[in-house]
């Protein structure tokens, strides 16, 4: 009798502990957590200067517009796609934290004007390349814009963000999963359009967390529709991918065929993906194939897995490794990026 009571008590305590982990872990925003002043192994955690730098953020969204005069957006979805841009000023500090000094309001523009603005930025950057960024869950357009701005500042490339209608609520994970699947169909159309405009060979796809799952769905939809073209994307970077590791192996051939270079950036101590594993029951792709147990990268033919544990100073280990993305797109720096 005593042992049964003890077992029941331990079960309750365990449930409370898991609930506490759920709330405390989801309460923060992983990609935007301030980095700790920890030295990086590859390059500095940020390449942003300590003086303010202003970058444009281009966005494509099917969020519902608010009822106000300015084109701010809600967390509800819309069948209508909006194009727009904003400017964000940011700088790094001596401790390599990122300070956002100024953010302009979102401004909707017609599609033709939108792509003209992107072209002007390409000329300014002297490049034909663009980055397409797909964010994860628990994001509104403001938070995801800061990440897109940092991508642009760190990589020195124009960034087009797809802002899908994720809710800015850490406790609506299942709702965002459903919405991400819905939004992946629109992402398929967007990628096909961008591929025709810029050429896939000039497009770098960056997915983070649940956004990586959306890339899987979208590339599969393009293949199933029969309208996908044989040209390959320049790079596909899957950062902290929140997708079942075994499920991803079913998609791996598709990524090899669709991209010249696909890389998985995974962490040995990704606490957010540990929580996702508890929810889904399967190891997540970004967990180094069993984080908290052993360091062993998943072996996937044609796809490189990068262990960025030592390059992520954020507490939850679920950040975008901007420094390693920069190294990956620099031909002269290729040998510096390797499995550890």
pLDDT digits (tens, 9 = 90+) for 126-173: 999 999 999 999 999 999 999 999 999 999 999 999 999 998 888 889
pLDDT of residue 225: 83
Nearest to 100 by CA among 157, 44, 57: 57
Better pLDDT: 227 or 3: 227
Cβ-Cβ contacts under 8 Å for 216 (sequence gap 6 or more): 243, 248, 251, 254
pTM across the whole model = 0.83
pLDDT at residue 315 tops 60: yes
- Which sequence spans correspond to the domains of the chain? 31-336
- The pair of structure tokens assigned to 247 is 């499920």
pLDDT at residue 204 tops 70: yes
Please identify which residue in the block is written with the tokens 């850490």. 170
Nearest to 323 by CA among 41, 90, 89, 56: 41
pLDDT at residue 28 tops 60: no
pLDDT of residue 294: 46
d(CA 223, CA 192): 11
pLDDT of residue 65: 87
Please identify which residue in the block is written with the tokens 């599969």. 220
**With bands split at pLDDT 50, 70 and 90, how would you rate the model's confidence at 203?**
very high
CATH of domain 31-336: 3.40.50
pLDDT digits (tens, 9 = 90+) for 257-278: 999 999 999 888 888 898 898 8
């Amino acid at each position: 009798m005593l042992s049964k009571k003890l077992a029941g008590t331990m079960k309750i305590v365990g449930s409370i502990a898991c609930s506490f982990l759920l709330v405390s872990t989801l309460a923060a925003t992983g990609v935007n957590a301030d980095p700790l002043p920890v030295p990086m192994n590859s390059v500095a955690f940020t390449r942003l200067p300590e003086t303010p730098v202003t970058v444009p953020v281009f966005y494509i969204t099917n969020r519902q517009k608010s009822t106000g005069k300015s084109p701010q957006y809600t967390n509800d979805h819309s069948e209508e796609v909006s194009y727009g841009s904003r400017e964000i000023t940011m700088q790094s500090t001596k401790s390599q934290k990122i300070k956002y000094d100024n953010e302009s309001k979102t401004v909707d523009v017609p599609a033709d004007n939108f792509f003209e603005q992107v072209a002007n930025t390409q000329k300014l950057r002297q490049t034909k390349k663009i980055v397409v960024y797909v964010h994860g869950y628990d994001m509104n357009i403001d938070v995801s814009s800061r990440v897109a701005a940092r991508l642009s500042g760190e990589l020195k490339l124009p960034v087009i963000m797809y802002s899908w209608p994720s809710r800015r609520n850490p406790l609506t994970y299942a709702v965002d999963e459903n919405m991400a699947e819905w939004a992946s169909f629109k992402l398929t159309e967007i990628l096909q359009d961008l591929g025709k405009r810029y050429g896939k060979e000039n497009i770098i796809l960056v997915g983070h967390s649940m956004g990586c799952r959306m890339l899987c769905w979208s590339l599969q939809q393009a293949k199933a529709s029969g309208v996908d073209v044989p040209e390959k994307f320049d790079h596909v970077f899957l950062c902290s991918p929140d997708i079942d590791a075994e499920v991803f192996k079913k998609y791996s051939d598709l990524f090899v065929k669709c991209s010249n270079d696909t890389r998985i950036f995974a962490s040995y101590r990704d606490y957010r993906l540990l929580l996702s594993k508890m929810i889904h029951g399967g190891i997540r792709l970004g967990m180094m194939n069993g984080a908290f147990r052993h360091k062993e990268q998943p072996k996937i033919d044609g796809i490189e897995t990068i262990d960025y544990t030592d390059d992520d100073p954020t507490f939850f280990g679920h950040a975008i490794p901007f420094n390693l993305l920069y190294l990956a797109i620099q031909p002269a720096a290729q040998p510096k990026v390797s499995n550890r």
